[in-house]
């Protein structure tokens, strides 16, 4: 059992017999009484979101999971298929389980799969991925005080805000944790 004050983002918890991942922790210290921890959680089996409030001093059960490197192969009728590079076994995972991370999956990329009791429960993407820009709106240069941004569509279907100099065919680096543009790395050959 773990003290609630030690729980942070991406901690895996067992609640009511189901594994959850902590997506956000809000700490509130009222003027009177014990501190409150509000957790936003996502069920690792069905992808459903849930919010739970705990008081300081409460204890929660952490889930022990193992991690394994796998390669993303393809998407088929709402299921994403991953292959174990050592045994070549293929493992499907539905879109609800993966959640918003699915838009950064590129065929052939390596991901870390989290397994609990022989069942895949979550994936961890690399911190950064390089994706090609497939659609880009034309922008005109205007006098502005703040940096301009335009929205582009990437090869996986994700949309990201980028600087105006990024154009269709460019390859950009994207932070998968925040879904934001990092840098332009080249052009598609």
Tens of pLDDT, residue by residue over 92-133, are: 888 877 878 888 898 888 998 888 877 777 788 888 999 999
148 & 109 share domain: no
Return the percentage of the chain with pLDDT > 90, whole number: 15
Residues 93 and 138 in one domain: no
Name the domain boundary from 124, 139, 154. Answer: 124
Asked which of 14-23, 43-52, 81-90, 138-147 is least confident by mean pLDDT, the reply is 138-147
Of 45, 62, 79, which residue is a domain's last? 62
Say how far residue 99 (Cα) sits from the centre of its chain. 7
Higher pLDDT, 108 or 147: 108
Better-scored residue on pLDDT, 59 or 140:
59
What range defines the domain where residue 14 resides?
Answer: 2-62
pLDDT-derived band of residue 177, with 50, 70 and 90 as boundaries?
confident
As a whole number, mean pLDDT of residues 47-74 equals: 88
Same domain, 164 and 147: yes
Q: How many folded domains does the chain comprise?
A: 3
Look up the CATH number of the domain holding residue 27: 2.30.30.30
Which single residue is written with the structure tokens 């994403």? 80
pLDDT interval class at 52 (50, 70, 90): very high
Residue 155 has pLDDT above 80, yes or no: yes
**Mean pLDDT of all residues in 68-84:** 89
Statement to judge: residues 46 and 74 lie in one domain:
no
- The pLDDT of residue 143 is above 60: no
Q: Looking at the structure, tell me whether residues 77 and 32 fall in a common domain.
A: no
Asked whether residue 170 carries a pLDDT value surpassing 70, the answer given is yes
b/e code 114-126 from CB counts within 10 Å (16+ = b): bebeeebbbbebe
Q: What is the largest CA-CA distance in the chain?
A: 63
- Segment 177-183 shows an average pLDDT of 87
pLDDT tens-digit profile of 20-51? 889 899 998 888 888 899 999 988 777 788 99
> Residue ranges of the alpha helices (H) in 23-149?
95-98
Q: What is the CATH number of the domain that holds 75?
A: 2.40.50.140
Q: What is the mean pLDDT of the chain?
A: 86
Q: Which of 26, 44, 62 is the last residue of a domain?
A: 62
Distance CA 81, CA 176 (A): 19
In whole angstroms, what is the distance from residue 169 CA to residue 4 CA?
47
């Amino acid at each position: 059992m773990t003290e609630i004050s030690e729980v942070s983002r991406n901690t895996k918890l067992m609640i009511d017999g189901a594994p959850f991942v902590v997506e956000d922790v809000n700490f509130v210290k009222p003027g009177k009484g014990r501190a409150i921890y509000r957790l936003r959680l996502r069920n690792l089996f069905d992808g459903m979101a849930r919010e739970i409030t705990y008081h300081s001093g409460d204890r929660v059960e952490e889930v022990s999971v193992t991690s394994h490197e796998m390669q993303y192969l393809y998407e088929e009728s709402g299921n994403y298929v991953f292959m174990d590079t050592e045994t070549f076994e293929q493992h499907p995972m539905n879109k609800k389980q993966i959640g918003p991370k699915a838009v950064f999956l590129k065929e052939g990329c390596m991901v870390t799969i989290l397994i609990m009791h022989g069942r895949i429960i979550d994936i961890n993407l690399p911190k950064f991925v390089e994706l090609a820009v497939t659609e880009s709106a034309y922008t005109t240069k205007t006098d502005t005080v703040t940096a301009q941004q335009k929205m582009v569509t990437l090869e996986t279907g994700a949309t990201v805000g980028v600087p105006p100099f990024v154009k269709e065919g460019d390859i950009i680096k994207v932070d998968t944790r925040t879904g934001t543009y990092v840098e332009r790395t080249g052009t598609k050959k």
